[in-house]
C-alpha cells in the first residue's frame, strides 16, 4: 500500500508539472499564431475606450478569437477599477507583464531589462563595468533527460574583480553566497528516480528537502542581476570548472571600473598587437588611426580573447556594424557573414578601408563569443589568418537589444552564420594551433610571444 501511495504522489507531481508546461506552451502558440500586438508603445493598448465592469468581466472569459492585446487591456483596466488599493502608476504592471511574457518563452537570451539593468547593460558594452566584472549568461543543458539552466561565465573583463579572483570563461556558477542558483526543479529528480526505491518516510523527508532547496534558491534572472549590480561587497561564488574534480569557492569583491575596448601597442620587428574586448562604435576609427601611424609591416596580432560579441545595440552602437568596419580596417572586404532568420538571410559585409596585411594571427579562447566568433571565422577564411588559442564559445544566437519606453528587452532575432551560410558551430571554432594561458594581455602573456614567433616564421598562410 505504501508503495502505491508513493507512486501516486510521484505521478501526481509529474502530471501537475507536465500539465502546466503543456498549457503554457499551448497558450504561447495560440498567441503567436494570432496577430501579434506591439508592446513598444503601451498607449496603443491603454488609450482604447474602456469597457464597463460587466463587459470587461465578460471579455476576460473570451473565446477562440480574443486578441491578446484586448485581454491585456481589459485586465489592466479591471485592475484600475476593481483592485482594493489605488494604482497610481501602471509601470510596475506593464513591466511585470512584459517580463513574464518573455520569460514564458523559455529562452534565456530573450528577456526584459528594467531601467537600471538596461543602463548597466549599455555601460557594459561600452567598457564601463559594475558588479563582478564578467559577462554572464544562461546556457541550457539537458542532464539525465532534464532541461537545466546554468549561469555561465561567457567572458571576463580584463583588470576587473572577476579576473583578479581567478574566474574564467566557461565557469558555471552554482551558488551565490551559499544559495543554490536554481538550475531545475529538484523534485523532478526525486519523483523520477526515488519513488519506487525509497521508504515512504525517507521519500517525504527528501521531498521536503528538495522543496526547501527550491524555495531558498536564487532564480537565474535574480542571479544575473546580483552579479551585475553595483556595490563593493564580497560575493562568495561556488564554481564548477571543466577538468576540476571538485567545485571551487571563489570570493569576488564587486567594484565599478572602466576598461578601454581597444588596446594597441607596438612590438619589436614592426609588429603590432591589437586587443579588442568589445566591438564599440569608436573601435574601427581608433584602430585605423593607430595603424596609420604604424601599419604593422612585420604582421599584426589581433587578440579577441574574452570578447563576448553581442548583444547587438541599435544604431551606431551596433556590434555587428563595428565588427564589419573593424575587419574593413584590417583589409577585409565583401561578404563576411550572414544573419539567418527562418528563410530570410541578411548578408554582413565589410568595406575595405586599408591595405590587406600579409601576416595576421588571431588569438581566441572560450570567452571569444558570438559576433567575435564571426569575426575570427571571417579573418581565417578571407585573410588566411591563423587562429591561435583554445576553442571558442560556440554562441551563434544573434541577440538584438530593443529599447522600450520602460527599460529594454533582448531578443533572439536570428542565427549567426559564416559567409558560407553555415551556422557558427555549437562546439565553437577550433584553433589552428591549440595553446592556452591564464595570463591575458600583459607583458608576460605567453600567447603574445607565441603569436610573435608565428609571425616571424611565416609569410602569409596558416602555420
Parse the chain into domains and list their residue ranges.
128-182+217-259, 260-456
| Number of neighbouring beta carbons within 10 Å of residue 115 | 13
Q: How far is CA 1 from the centre of its chain?
A: 49
* CATH fold label, 260-456: 2-enoyl-CoA Hydratase; Chain A, domain 1 (3.90.226)
d(CA 463, CA 458): 7
Q: What cell numbers appear for 444 in the block?
A: 608576460
Helix axes 200-216, 2-33, angle to 10 degrees: 30
d(CA 316, CA 282): 9
Residues 6+ apart with CB under 8 A from 447: 303, 305, 363, 388, 389, 435, 436, 437, 440
Please name which of 432, 435, 315, 451 lies closest in space to residue 384, comparing C-alpha atoms.
432
Q: Residue 148: is it exposed, middle or buried by C-beta count within 10 angstroms (0-12/13-18/19+)?
A: middle
For residue 439, is it left (φ>0), alpha (ψ between -120 and 50) or beta? beta
Please name the helix (run of DSSP H) or strand (run of DSSP E) that holds residue 92, with its range, or none: helix 91-103
d(CA 297, CA 269): 8
- Strand, helix or coil at 77? helix
Q: Residue 21: is it exposed, middle or buried by C-beta count within 10 angstroms (0-12/13-18/19+)?
A: exposed
| Number of neighbouring beta carbons within 10 Å of residue 386 | 22
d(CA 202, CA 214): 18
Inter-CA distances, 21 with 14, 26, 283, 341, Å: 11, 9, 45, 26
CATH class of the region 128-182+217-259: mainly beta
d(CA 369, CA 367): 6
Instruction: Going from the first residue of the chain to its last (463 residues), give the mean pLDDT of each consecutive group of 10, the final group possibly shorter.
Output: 41 40 40 37 42 50 68 86 86 87 89 91 86 90 81 90 93 94 80 64 83 88 90 93 93 91 91 94 93 88 93 92 95 94 94 74 95 96 94 95 92 96 95 85 84 72 38
Q: How far is CA 5 from the centre of its chain?
A: 43
Confidence at residue 40, expressed as pLDDT on a 0 to 100 scale:
38
* CB distance 348 to 324 below 8 Å: yes
d(CA 336, CA 379): 8
Confidence at residue 41, expressed as pLDDT on a 0 to 100 scale:
42
Confidence at residue 241, expressed as pLDDT on a 0 to 100 scale:
94
- Strand, helix or coil at 400? strand
Confidence at residue 195, expressed as pLDDT on a 0 to 100 scale:
54
Inter-CA distances, 81 with 48, 56, 73, 84, 94, Å: 15, 11, 12, 9, 16
Find the angle CA(409)-CA(280)-CA(404) to the nearest 5 degrees: 20
d(CA 91, CA 262): 38
Please confirm whether the linkage preceding 311 is cis (ω < 30° from 0).
yes
Please name the helix (run of DSSP H) or strand (run of DSSP E) that holds residue 255, with its range, or none: none
Alpha helical stretches, state H, 354-393: 371-382
* CB distance 354 to 406 below 8 Å: no
Confidence at residue 122, expressed as pLDDT on a 0 to 100 scale:
87
Please name which of 9, 325, 278 lies closest in space to residue 160, comparing C-alpha atoms.
278
Confidence at residue 70, expressed as pLDDT on a 0 to 100 scale:
85
| DSSP annotation string for 189-216 | HHHHHTTTTS-HHHHHHHHHHHHHHHHH
Confidence at residue 16, expressed as pLDDT on a 0 to 100 scale:
36
d(CA 265, CA 20): 57
Confidence at residue 15, expressed as pLDDT on a 0 to 100 scale:
36
| DSSP annotation string for 225-244 | HHHHS----EEEEEEE-TT-
Amino acid at each position: 500500500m505504501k508503495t502505491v501511495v508513493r507512486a501516486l504522489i510521484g505521478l501526481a507531481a509529474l502530471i501537475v508539472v507536465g500539465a502546466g508546461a503543456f498549457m503554457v506552451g499551448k497558450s504561447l502558440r495560440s498567441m503567436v499564431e494570432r496577430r501579434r500586438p506591439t508592446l513598444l508603445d503601451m498607449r496603443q493598448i491603454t488609450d482604447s475606450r474602456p469597457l464597463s465592469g460587466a463587459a470587461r468581466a465578460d471579455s476576460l472569459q473570451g473565446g477562440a478569437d480574443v486578441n491578446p492585446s484586448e485581454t491585456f487591456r481589459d485586465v489592466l483596466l479591471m485592475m484600475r477599477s476593481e483592485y482594493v488599493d489605488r494604482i497610481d502608476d501602471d509601470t510596475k504592471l506593464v513591466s511585470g507583464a512584459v517580463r513574464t511574457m518573455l520569460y514564458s518563452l523559455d529562452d534565456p537570451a530573450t528577456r526584459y531589462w528594467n531601467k537600471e539593468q538596461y543602463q548597466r547593460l549599455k555601460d557594459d558594452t561600452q567598457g564601463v563595468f559594475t558588479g563582478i566584472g564578467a559577462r554572464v549568461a544562461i546556457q541550457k543543458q539537458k542532464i539525465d533527460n532534464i532541461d537545466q539552466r546554468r549561469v555561465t561565465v561567457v567572458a571576463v573583463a580584463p583588470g576587473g574583480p572577476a579576473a583578479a579572483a581567478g574566474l574564467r570563461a566557461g565557469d558555471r556558477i552554482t551558488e551565490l553566497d551559499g544559495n543554490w542558483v536554481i538550475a531545475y526543479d529538484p523534485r523532478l529528480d526525486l519523483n523520477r528516480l526515488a519513488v519506487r526505491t525509497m521508504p515512504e518516510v525517507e521519500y517525504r523527508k527528501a521531498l521536503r528537502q528538495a522543496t526547501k532547496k527550491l524555495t531558498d534558491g536564487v532564480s537565474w534572472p535574480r542571479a544575473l542581476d546580483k552579479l551585475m549590480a553595483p556595490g563593493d561587497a564580497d560575493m562568495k561564488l561556488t564554481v564548477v570548472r571543466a577538468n576540476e574534480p571538485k567545485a571551487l569557492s571563489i570570493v569576488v569583491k564587486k567594484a565599478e571600473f572602466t576598461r578601454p575596448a581597444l588596446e594597441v601597442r607596438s612590438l619589436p620587428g614592426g609588429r603590432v598587437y591589437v586587443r579588442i574586448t568589445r566591438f564599440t562604435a569608436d573601435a574601427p576609427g581608433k584602430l585605423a588611426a593607430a595603424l596609420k601611424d604604424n601599419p604593422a609591416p612585420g604582421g599584426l596580432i589581433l587578440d579577441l580573447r574574452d570578447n563576448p560579441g553581442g548583444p547587438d545595440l541599435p544604431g551606431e552602437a551596433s556590434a555587428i556594424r563595428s565588427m564589419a568596419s573593424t575587419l574593413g580596417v584590417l583589409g577585409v572586404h565583401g561578404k563576411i557573414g550572414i544573419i539567418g532568420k527562418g528563410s530570410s538571410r541578411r548578408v554582413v559585409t565589410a568595406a575595405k578601408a586599408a591595405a590587406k596585411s600579409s601576416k595576421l594571427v588571431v588569438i581566441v579562447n572560450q570567452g571569444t563569443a558570438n559576433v567575435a566568433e564571426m569575426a575570427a571565422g571571417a579573418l581565417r577564411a578571407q585573410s588566411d589568418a591563423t587562429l591561435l588559442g583554445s576553442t571558442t564559445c560556440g554562441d551563434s544566437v544573434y541577440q538584438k537589444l530593443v529599447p522600450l519606453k520602460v527599460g529594454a528587452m533582448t531578443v533572439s532575432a536570428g542565427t549567426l552564420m559564416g559567409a558560407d551560410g553555415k551556422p557558427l558551430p555549437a562546439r565553437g571554432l577550433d584553433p589552428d594551433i591549440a595553446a592556452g594561458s591564464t595570463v591575458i594581455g600583459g607583458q608576460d602573456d605567453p600567447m603574445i610571444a607565441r603569436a610573435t614567433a608565428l609571425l616571424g616564421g611565416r609569410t602569409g598562410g596558416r602555420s
